[in-house]
Amino acid sequence: MTRNQQIRWLVKPAVFLASVAPSAWLVWAALHGQLSANPLADVTNETGVWTLRFLSLTLCVTPVRRLAGWNDAIRFRRMLGLFAFYYGSLHLLTYVVADRLAGLEFQNGIVAWTTARDLVATVASDVVKRPFITIGFIAWSCLLPLAITSTAAMIRRLGGRRWQALHRLTYVAASTGVLHYWWLVKADVRRPMVYAVIVGCLLAFRVWRWARAASVPTMRRAAA
């Protein structure tokens, strides 16, 4: 087996399974009474935290390539990014169902068009009214176009340069995601602070690289 084949047939499936595992475990634990007395709150919290973990991992790919020279890391970036979207979407879905849908009145029963209408209204008003929901929704909205344009065909259609520019939205998603976590905690900000530091370092790495790249040509010109 070549190195290429190893990555394709062994490492990638292993990373895939490891990435699905937290969600599979959550579903199993929720159904088997292994979560707290308020399992819906646990699922909401956990899927949110896993979104930040996968966003952080995705942002690690470029630093790992540049600093450690491990170029194969690029082959996992799309999968990690899509898992960030997967957990972000599960997080949003849990909120919509367990927090918003479960709080409706259902004057015509649950299966009724009024339910859909009321659900859209209650989610929209919450997104508009509550800053931590607003910013969380912005974070998810940044990930949506990235997931849609994650295929090779879409990269070709957009062109590498435009595709890359679009996918810098990851930076916005990660930053707003951390803010969303920070704004929702009641008192102890240590957990969101951990992600603020991680995402902060990963973004600072980009700034440092750009600053260096910008200064190098001028130096060369000066030397010539």
Partner 1 sequence: MLIKRSSDIRASEITDKSHYLNRRQFLNAVAMATAATAAGPLSSETLAASNGAAHGKKLANVAKGAFSGSGDKINSWNDITSYNNFYEFGIDKNDAVTNSGKFVTSPWKVSIEGECEKPGVMDLEDMFKGETLEERVYRHRCVEGWSLVIPWVGFPLVNLIKKVQPTSKAKFVEFTSAADAKTMPGVRNPILRWPYREGLRMDEAMHPLTLMVVGLYGEVLPASDGAPLRLAVPWKYGFKHAKSIVKIRFVEQQPLNSWQQYAPNEYGFYANVNPAVDHPRWSQATERRIGEFLRRKTLMFNGYGDQVQSLYAGMDLRRNY
Among 107, 111, 113, 190, binds partner 1 (CB under 8 A): 190
Nearest Cα neighbor of 12 from 65, 79, 68, 86 is 79
Contacts to partner 1 from residues 3-62, by CB under 8 A = 29, 33-38, 40-42, 45-46, 49, 53, 56
Q: How far apart (Å, rounded) are the C-alpha atoms in residues 214 and 92?
A: 39
Comparison of 12 and 191: residue with beta carbon closer to partner 1: 191
| Residue 103 within binding range of partner 1, rule CB under 8 A | yes
**Cβ neighbours of residue 115 closer than 8 Å, sequence gap 6 or more:** 101, 104, 106, 108, 109
Least distance CB 128 / partner 1 (angstroms): 13
Least distance CB 168 / partner 1 (angstroms): 24
- For the record, the structure tokens of 191 come out as 């957990």
Number of Cβ within 10 Å of residue 120's Cβ equals 12
Q: How far is CA 68 from CA 5, 19, 63, 65, 201, in A?
A: 22, 23, 8, 6, 16
Least distance CB 31 / partner 1 (angstroms): 12
First to last CA, the chain: 48
Q: Build a one-symbol-per-residue string for 124-153: x at contacts with partner 1 by CB under 8 A, - elsewhere.
A: --x---xxx---------------------
Least distance CB 103 / partner 1 (angstroms): 4
Comparison of 26 and 143: residue with beta carbon closer to partner 1: 26
Least distance CB 1 / partner 1 (angstroms): 33
Q: How far apart (Å, rounded) are the C-alpha atoms in residues 207 and 59?
A: 13
Which positions lie near partner 1, rule CB under 8 A? 29, 33-38, 40-42, 45-46, 49, 53, 56, 98-99, 102-103, 126, 130-132, 183-184, 186-188, 190-191, 193-195, 198
